[in-house]
Amino acid sequence: MYSFDFLRPTTLAEAAEALARDEALALGGGQTLIPTLKQRLASPSVLVSLGAIAEMKGICRNDAGQICIGGGTTHATVAAELAESYPAMAALAGQIGDPAVRNRGTIGGSLANNDPAACYPAGVLGSKSLIVTNTREIAVDDFFQGMFTTDLESGEIITEVRVAVPDRANYQKFVQPASRFAMVGVFVAQYSDGVRVAVTGASQDGVFRWTEAEAALSAHFDASALDGLSVAADDLIADLHGSAEYRAHLIKVMTARAVKAA
């Protein structure tokens, strides 16, 4: 790694001040940033750890009935504490990486990084979510801007994710066994006003909503509603693990499984 200053603020105000410094980077659970630093693909002058900010951790319900997940909350905590109130999201968190990753990685860090094969982007996009930062609120449909790109501005910190619990939901993940990332992951959630279907792991642009499937499932929530639908392979990922056409096929298969499981 390159040399850098390490800061560990205990409040959001201190963290924001530290991140205003030139070439400063925020450190959540470090599951992506630390390997990036080891490979010398990033060279911050200041590393600002968010791990000591208590107000960014924990899960609660607000007056609107939304589940509020602190940006510094680990995957393991989400998996344990949402098992009854939002089992689909809990199951998603429980499939991320391995125990070491789940006990260090955070929901805020995962969303800010926006890896195209990460699980949480599908979970929050498939849910009716609101991304709360230290300066504003961002509707989830406006948050993801493409591979490793979000609507976050420099120095902005995800402090909370507010999720509306659907009537029923499920997440299906076709795992790439070496990395534990999703070759294709599909999160399906049914609300009173319609169905949301979010896909991760497949597109070169990152997570996206399969709107044709949403329309079909909103009219008839059954796997048979997907008959005749298909996903174009043009912009999908093709690599040594699977072709674009294979991933297009998996999207439909995983969506059908999610609907049946939900």
DSSP 185-246: EEEEEEETTEEEEEEESSBTT--EE-HHHHHHHHH--SGGGGTT-----TTB--BTTB-HHH
Q: Contact, 119 vs 200, CB < 8 A?
A: yes
Task: Return phi, psi of residue 33, to 5°.
Answer: -65, -40
* Helix, strand, coil tally for the chain in percent (to 5): 35, 25, 40
Torsion of CA 176, 205, 42, 177, to 10 degrees: 0
pLDDT, tens digit, for every residue of 173-194? 999 988 889 999 999 999 999 9
d(CA 188, CA 195): 7
Quote the radius of gyration of the chain (alpha carbons, Å): 18
What distance in Å separates the CA atoms of residue 244 and residue 250, rounded to the nearest whole number? 10
Of the chain, the percentage scoring pLDDT greater than 90 comes to 87
Would the pLDDT of 217 be above 90?
A: yes
Taken in order of first residue, the domains within the chain and their CATH numbers are 1-55 (3.30.43.10), 168-261 (3.30.390.50)
The vertex-143 CA angle with 76 and 44, nearest 5°, equals 70
Strands 24-27 and 168-175: unpaired
Residue positions counted in the chain: 262
How does pLDDT run across 39-78, given as a tens digit for each residue?
888 888 899 999 999 999 999 999 999 999 999 999 999 9
Q: What is the pLDDT of residue 44?
A: 87
> Which of helix, strand or coil describes residue 94?
helix
Could you tell me the pTM of the whole model? 0.95
Please give the pLDDT value at position 41: 84
pLDDT of residue 1: 59
Give the pLDDT of residue 179: 84
User: Average pLDDT of the chain?
Assistant: 95
Candidates 122, 115, 107, 81; CA nearest to 160 is: 107
